[in-house]
Amino acid sequence: MSTCTSCGTEVPSAGRFCSACGTPLPGSDDMATMDFASPTPRQSARAVSASPSKPPSSSPYSGSEGRFLPGRLLAGRYRIIALLGRGGMGEVYRADDLTLGQPVALKFLPDEAAQDEALLERFRNEVRIARRVSHPNVCRVYDVGEVDGHTFFTMEYVDGEDLASLLRRIGRLPHDKALDIARQLCAGLAAAHSKGVLHRDLKPANIMLDGRGQVVVTDFGLAGVADQIQGAEVRSGTPAYMAPEQLAGKEVSTRSDIYALGLVLYEVFTGKRVFGEKPGESQRAGGDWTPSRPSTVVKDLDPIVEKVILRCLETEPSARPATVLAVAAALPGGDPLAAALAAGETPSPQMVAAAGETAGLRPRTAVVCLLAALLGLGIGAYLSIRYSAIEKMRLELPPEVLTQKAREIVARFGYTEKPADSAFGFVYDTDLQDHVEKQKTPVNWAAVLTGRPPILEYWYRQSPKEMSASHYYDQLFTPGILHEDDPEPTLSGMINVKLDSKGRLISFLAIPPEKYDAAPTTTQPDWSQLFAAAEIDAAKLQAAPPQWNSLAASDARAAWTGTWPGLNFPLRVEAAAWRGKPVYFALLGDWTEPGRMVPPDSAERARNRLSQTLGLLLLIALLVAGALLARRNYRAGRADREGALRLASVMFALEILLWLCRSHLVPSWDTFGNLMLCIASGLLIGGVTWMLYLALEPWIRRRWPQALITWSRLISGRLRDPLVGRDILFGVMFGVGWLLIFVLVFALLARTGAAPQLGSAAYLLGGRQALGQWLLQAPVSILITLEFFFLLLGLKVVLRKDWIAAIAFVSLFVGLRVLQSTHLAIELPAFLVIYVVVVLIVLRFGLVPLAVGAFTVDMLANVPFTTDFSAWYVGTTALALLSVAALAGWGFYHSLGGEPVWRVEVE
C-alpha cells in the first residue's frame, strides 16, 4: 500500500492514480501523458499564493527551496519571491515583474525534461493555447522566457485558494455563493470554447478563487484545439474528472468539458463527489456511470440546479447541453430562452412570451415616437391629397343622388316596373388612364379628371329577381360581392346603367323579354333621349355603321362618331332598341376594350402572364411547403397549437365580418348559400393560416425567437403589455414611413405625366362598404406578414447567411414588382427601399410591427383624403386618420407601462 501525496488516501501500490482525487502516483508511467497537472495538488498553476490558513510551509514540497532562491533576479526583470509549489510537470515561483511593477508567477519545466523536445513543445503549446483565451475568469498567460537553459513562462499571480482546498475545508458552499461560482466558471469555460480551446482537465484543483471571490480557470497544460486532438491525447487528463467517451479514448469535445463541469458543480452544490470519496477507476471504466441525484445529498437543493447538473452528467454526449452558455442560462436566474437556444432545443411559446424586456419605452422616447407618427401621418395625408385623383375630381354627388338619377333615366326610357333588387358601386376606367398616360403631348390631369370622358364611373343595376354574385374578387374569397357584370346581365328585365360623377349617362343596357308577342310594331326608337341623358350634342356627330354587339336583343341599331366634349379624344356612340325602347347605349373610345372577347397577345399581356405564373407558382410552393412543415411540426409536438387556433379563429371571425360588410345581402336562399360559402371560405382562410402558422412559428421560435416575443404576448391576449404597445407604435411609424415613400413616388411620377394616385373606390360607398374595406386590411396584413416571414426564414435555412437571405428576399419581391412596373427608373429604387425596410423590420422587431405597418400603409394609401369638411366622403377620411391615430395612441399609452409621461414634483 502507498499513500497519495495529495489527499492522504491509501491506495494499492500497483495503482497509477489516486482513486480519491485522481492525482498521478509517484512512479506512474502515465504521468506525462495523463496529467499535465497543477504544480501542487492544493494550488493551481495559475500563480497563487497559499491560503492564509495554509501557508507555503505546509506544502509537501516546502522542504526544498527550489532551484532558485528568493531574491534571485532572472532575465534582468523577474525577482524571485518564493517557491509556490512543485508538480509532475514543473515548479511555480512567485516573482515581481520589475519592468511592469506587478506580481507574476513563473512556471518552469523540471530539469530532466529540459532535453525532451516533445515536453518542451508541449510547454510552448500551453502558452500558445492559453494566450488564445482572454477572459476575467481565465488565467492570463503573458510570455515565454529562458534562463540558464531553463524554459519558463509568466502568468498572472492571484492571491487566493483553489476550489479543491476550499471544499475540503468548509464542505459545500452556500447556495448563492455556489450559483455565483457556477456562473463565473461557465463564463470562463465558455470563453475558452469560443476560441476552439478545450480544457480537458477541469477539476476543483484547477479552479481558483481570489481574495474577492472571483473564479479563475487555471492550468491549461492539457488544453488543446478542438479539431486537433486525436489518438492518445484524447485520454490526457485526470481520470476522476473525465467524461466516459474521453476515458474510453473515443473522443474529446466541448461536451467532455461539460461533463467535467457537471462533476465540479456537483461538488460545489453538495460538498461531495459524484461517485463517492474513493471512486474506483475500474468501476467507472466498467460502465457504472449513473450518478446519484444531488438531492439525495442535499435535501433542499434547488430542483433547477439538480436538473442542470444531471444533464451535464449524461452518459451520451449528445444528451448533454450543447454549450456551456446553455448551462449558465439554465441555472436559476439565467435566461431560459437563451438556455433553450444554446441547448439546441425549441423554446415553448410561453417561454418566448416571458422572455425579453418587460418595460416599454421611456416617456421621452414614447412621446417622440408618437409625435413622429402623428407628424408623418399629417404630412402623408397632406401630400396624398395633393396627388390624389379623387380630390382633383371634385366629386359633388354622393352615391344616393347618383342612384336616384339612374332610376330616373331608367324610368324615362320606359322601364317603370319596380325592381326586386338593385345595387350600385364605383369603378375606375383604367384603360382610359393608360391611354392618357401614353399620349406624347404633356397631359393636363386636372382637366382630364374633371372633364370627359370620366375615369371614375358610377354603376347602377336593377333586377326583377334578387341578385347573387358568382365570382370572388379578393384573396380572402369573400362571396356575394356584386360587380357591374356579376351576376351576368342575362336575366330578362335586368338593367345596367353607368354614369359619370355628375350623373351623365355613359352606358345603358336593358335585357328584353326572352319570349314576347310576335305582333309587329312600327314604333321607331327615339335616340334623342339617350343623347339628352348623356349630355351629348348629336348634331356634332356623324352617322356610322354599328360595330358593337350587346347582350340585349334588338330590332334597331345605330352608331355615330365624333369627339368627346372638351377633349380631342375620338368618340364612338353605339345604340340599339327593341320595339322602340332603348336596350343598349354606350359612349366608347379607342381605349375601350371588348370585355367579352379574348384580347390579342402583346408584350404587356405576356409580362402580366409571366408575373401571374410566378405568383401562382410561389403560392403553390408556399402551400405545399407549409403543409409538409406543419405536418412535421405537429407530429413532433413542436407546434403552438393553441396560438395557431387563436389566430385561425381571428381570421375566421374577420371573414364573417367582411361578408357582412361587403356582401350583397338580400332575403333569399342565395344569401343563405353565400353564408355557407362564407363559412367555407372562412374555414379555408383560417385553415391556411393555421397551417402556415404551424409550419412557420416553431422554426421562428427555435431559430429566431426574438421576432416572436411581442407576437406571442399579443396572441395570448396580453394587449396591454408594454412591449406590445411599443411594437404597435413602431408599426404605425413604419406604416406612415412607407406612405411617405409612396407619396414621394407619386410626386415623381406626376412630373413624368403619370396619373395621380387612385385609391380604392369601395371607400366612396360609405357606411357598411367602407367599414368592410377598412376591415379587409387586417387579415390581408396578417397573411402578408406570415408570407414574408415564411419566405425569409426559408431563405435563411437554405442560404445559411442572414445577409444573403435578405438580399435574395429583396431581389425576389422587387423582381415581381419590376415585371408589373411601367416607370422602372422611379419605382425600382422605391421598391428597393420598401423591401429593405421590410427586411430590417423583420430582423430587428418581428411580426407585430410588420403587420401593423402593413395594415397602416395599405389603408392610408387607398383612402380618399380630402380637406373639404363638407365633402360627402369626409367620414371615410376621418375613419382612416382617426383609426391610425388611435392605434398610435394605444401603442403609446401602453408602451409606457403605467409610467406617467410627466412627473409633477410637489414641494
User: Where in the sequence numbering do the catalytic residues fall?
Assistant: 201
User: Under 8 Å CB-to-CB from 76, ≥6 apart: which residues?
Assistant: none
**C-alpha cell at position 757:** 394616385
Nearest to 23 by CA among 62, 75, 60, 70: 60
DSSP string, 475-534: TT------BTTBS-S-STT-EEEEE-TTS-EEEEEE---SS-------PPP-THHHHHHH
**C-alpha cell at position 290:** 449513473
Q: Specify the DSSP element, H or E, that contains 626.
A: helix 603-636
Residue 906's CB is within 10 A of a number of other CB atoms, namely: 3
Report DSSP state, residue 398: -
- Return the amino acid letter for 101: G
Rounded to whole angstroms, the Cα distance separating 393 from 413 reads 29
Nearest to 425 by CA among 656, 866, 767: 767
| Three-state DSSP state, 182 | helix
Alpha helices of 82-174 — where are they, by DSSP H? 117-131, 163-170
Rounded to whole angstroms, the Cα distance separating 534 from 753 reads 29
User: Under 8 Å CB-to-CB from 402, ≥6 apart: which residues?
Assistant: 424, 458, 460, 499, 501, 503
User: Under 8 Å CB-to-CB from 116, ≥6 apart: which residues?
Assistant: none
Q: Specify the DSSP element, H or E, that contains 649.
A: helix 641-662
Angstrom CA distances, 900 to 366, 367, 372, 490, 892, stand at 11, 11, 20, 65, 12
Angstrom CA distances, 727 to 711, 806, 817, stand at 9, 22, 28
Rounded to whole angstroms, the Cα distance separating 779 from 783 reads 6
Rounded to whole angstroms, the Cα distance separating 626 from 698 reads 12
| Three-state DSSP state, 558 | strand
DSSP string, 853-891: HHHHHHHHTTS---S-TTSTTHHHHHHHHHHHHHHHHHH
Residue 115's CB is within 10 A of a number of other CB atoms, namely: 9
CB contact at 8 A, 756 and 393: no
Nearest to 791 by CA among 706, 709, 695: 695
Q: Specify the DSSP element, H or E, that contains 256.
A: helix 254-270
Rounded to whole angstroms, the Cα distance separating 46 from 48 reads 6
**C-alpha cell at position 78:** 523577474
The per-residue b/e assignment along 738-755, b for 16 or more CB within 10 angstroms, e otherwise, is: bbbbbbebbebbeeebbb
Using DSSP bridges, classify how beta strands 570-578 and 556-563 pair: parallel, antiparallel or unpaired: antiparallel
